[in-house]
Amino acid sequence: MTTRQVGDVTVIDVVGRITLGEGASAFRDTIRELAANGKKKLLLNLAEVSYIDSSGIGEMVSGFTTVANQGGAVKLLNLTKRVRDLLQITKLYTVFEVFDDEAAAVRSFS
């Protein structure tokens, strides 16, 4: 998992498995650290996520609420079909803003 700055938006390129244990913990720690450092515009690029379970989804939701409570936003970019299906099943597509184009996603924060 790596982070990069595009203007005032922090893009988190998430890679691999986000499941209970190491994957979900690393994901949670990254978002918490960014939030603690005042980063309030987070864009999760999920293009390279191979697997996400309910624990990973839970961490995404926790990250969303943590940052929203600080007046910021967490948005999603490049969902795979499997992640998109999960958001449909869990109704979280009503919570997260989702983008397929990074530039459009970055612009949406302003």
Partner 1 sequence: MTLVLDSTLESVDIAEERVLSEAAQAGFDEDQQHHIGMSVRECMVNAVVHGNRYNARKKVTVSISRSAGRLEVIIADEGEGFDMSNLPDPLADENLLRHSGRGLLLMQAFMDEFQIRPHQPRGTEVRMVKYLGKNNH
Contacts to partner 1 by CB under 8 A:
19-21, 51, 53-55, 57-59, 61-62, 64-65, 82, 85-86, 88-92, 94-95
Cβ 69 to partner 1 shortest distance, Å? 11
Count CB-CB contacts under 10 A for residue 75. Answer: 18
Of residues 91 and 110, the one with the C-beta less far from partner 1? 91
Supply the minimum distance, in Å, between the C-beta of residue 12 and partner 1: 19
Name which of 33 and 85 has its Cβ closer to partner 1: 85
Q: Given the complex with partner 1, which of 11 and 44 has the nearer CB atom? A: 44
Least spacing, CB of residue 94 vs partner 1, in Å:
7
Q: How far is the CB of 71 from partner 1 (least distance, A)?
A: 16
DSSP line for the chain: -EEEEETTEEEEEEEEEE-TTHHHHHHHHHHHHHHHTT--EEEEEEEEEEEE-HHHHHHHHHHHHHHHHTT-EEEEES--HHHHHHHHHTTGGGTS-EES-HHHHHHHT-
